[in-house]
């Protein structure tokens, strides 16, 4: 059975997205006619050289920026006119994984994971803690629950961040070069576990990277160059 057969409905649907910074003579166009779709259970890798518009695209998909033109539909909702509580509710279904500085240094590993659900109004502290421990265990960090971030390696910190992303039961995960600060082995573990757990949770994942060694984990690869996006076939090793 092909992977696309088990994919769910579209989580991200971008139609003719165009984005620019500044106005008048200072105007810089960054993205042109971006059309893309990411479905539930899919991990899409976005590649491209520095300054190609990857980060801008990720921030637009994460509703941190509004596109200058075009239509972005997230989880079935048109984001164009969304503001206030409706936008906050939508954002609560999205989680981010950053290149570095993912953890709160004043909280232990488990407290960092729990921080991913503390915003939920009906949070149950005991249940959250149990889930956090379970997730850390699944990520091989069961014995590091009480460790401070500065006692963890870079790969372990990223895995704690993955646990925090997943505990919030997001529908969409946006990861910005999550392996760039890690060595090959750690990077591989992080991305494999991200894919494994995200697919189990039926999340859609959009991951930007320069790291060719992890391209094979993706369902699809989109390449951005000079603000234009096109799909590139993946060569599995």
Partner 1 sequence: MPLGSQQLRRQRTSTLLSLAGVTASLLVIFAQLGIERAVYDSGVRIHRAVVGDLVLVPPGFKSLQLHAEVPAAMTDIVDTNPAVAGTAPFWFGIMSMTHAGMKASRQLAWYAIDVERPAIDVPGLKENLYKLREVRRILFDRDSRPYFGDLAEVAERGEEVPVLGPPNMRQLLPEMFVVGTVKIGPNVVNDGAVVMSENTMTEVFGPWWVDRPAFITIQLVPGVDRMAVRDQLNKALSGRGEVITRSEFEAREKEYWARETPVGYITDLGFVMGLMIGMVFIYYAQYQIIRFYLPEYAILKSLGYDWWFFLCMVGQIGAAIITPAYLVAFTLARLVYGVAETTIHLGMAMGLREMVVSLIASLVMTAVSSVFAIRRLWKVDPIMLFE
Residue numbers at the binding site for partner 1 (CB under 8 A): 55, 58-59, 62, 64-65, 88, 91-92, 95-96, 98, 101-107, 111, 114-116, 118-119, 164, 168, 176
User: Could you tell me the smallest distance in angstroms from the CB atom of residue 102 to partner 1?
Assistant: 7
For 16, 36, 50, 66, the CA distances from 55, given in Å and listed in that order, are: 17, 15, 9, 13
By beta-carbon proximity to partner 1, the closer residue of 108 and 193 is 108
User: Could you tell me the smallest distance in angstroms from the CB atom of residue 176 to partner 1?
Assistant: 5
Q: How many CB atoms lie within 10 A of CB 9?
A: 11
The sign one gets for the Cα dihedral 79, 81, 85, 86 is: negative
By beta-carbon proximity to partner 1, the closer residue of 43 and 161 is 161
By beta-carbon proximity to partner 1, the closer residue of 55 and 73 is 55
User: Could you tell me the smallest distance in angstroms from the CB atom of residue 165 to partner 1?
Assistant: 9
Q: For the sheet containing 10-21, what is the strand order?
A: 28-39, 10-21, 69-74, 77-78
By beta-carbon proximity to partner 1, the closer residue of 61 and 217 is 61
Residue 9: closest CA among 204, 194, 233: 204
Cα gap 171→164, rounded to integer Å: 14
User: Could you tell me the smallest distance in angstroms from the CB atom of residue 116 to partner 1?
Assistant: 6
User: Could you tell me the smallest distance in angstroms from the CB atom of residue 42 to partner 1?
Assistant: 22
Residue 152: closest CA among 188, 192, 186, 194: 186
CB 14 within 8 A of CB 61: yes
By beta-carbon proximity to partner 1, the closer residue of 26 and 105 is 105
């Amino acid at each position: 059975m092909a992977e696309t057969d088990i994919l769910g409905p579209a989580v991200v649907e971008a139609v003719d997205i165009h984005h620019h910074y500044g106005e008048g003579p200072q105007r810089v166009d960054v993205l042109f006619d971006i059309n893309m779709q990411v479905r539930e259970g899919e991990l899409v890798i976005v590649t491209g050289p520095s300054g190609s518009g990857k980060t801008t695209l990720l921030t637009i998909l994460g509703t941190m920026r509004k596109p200058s033109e075009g239509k972005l539909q997230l989880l079935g909702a048109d984001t164009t006119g969304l503001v206030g509580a409706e936008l906050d509710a939508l954002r609560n279904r999205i989680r981010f994984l950053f290149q570095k500085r993912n953890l709160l240094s004043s909280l232990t590993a488990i407290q960092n994971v729990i921080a991913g659900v503390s915003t939920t109004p009906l949070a149950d502290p005991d249940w959250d803690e149990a889930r956090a421990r379970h997730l850390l265990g699944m990520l091989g960090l069961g014995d590091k629950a009480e460790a401070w971030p500065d006692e963890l390696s870079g790969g372990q910190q990223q895995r704690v961040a993955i646990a925090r992303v997943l505990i919030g039961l997001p529908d969409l995960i946006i990861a910005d070069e999550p392996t760039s600060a890690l060595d090959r082995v750690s990077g591989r573990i992080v991305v494999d576990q991200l894919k494994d757990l995200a697919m189990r949770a039926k999340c859609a994942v959009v991951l930007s990277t320069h790291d060719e060694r992890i391209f094979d984990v993706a369902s699809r690869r989109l390449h951005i160059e000079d603000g234009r996006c096109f799909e590139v076939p993946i060569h599995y090793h």
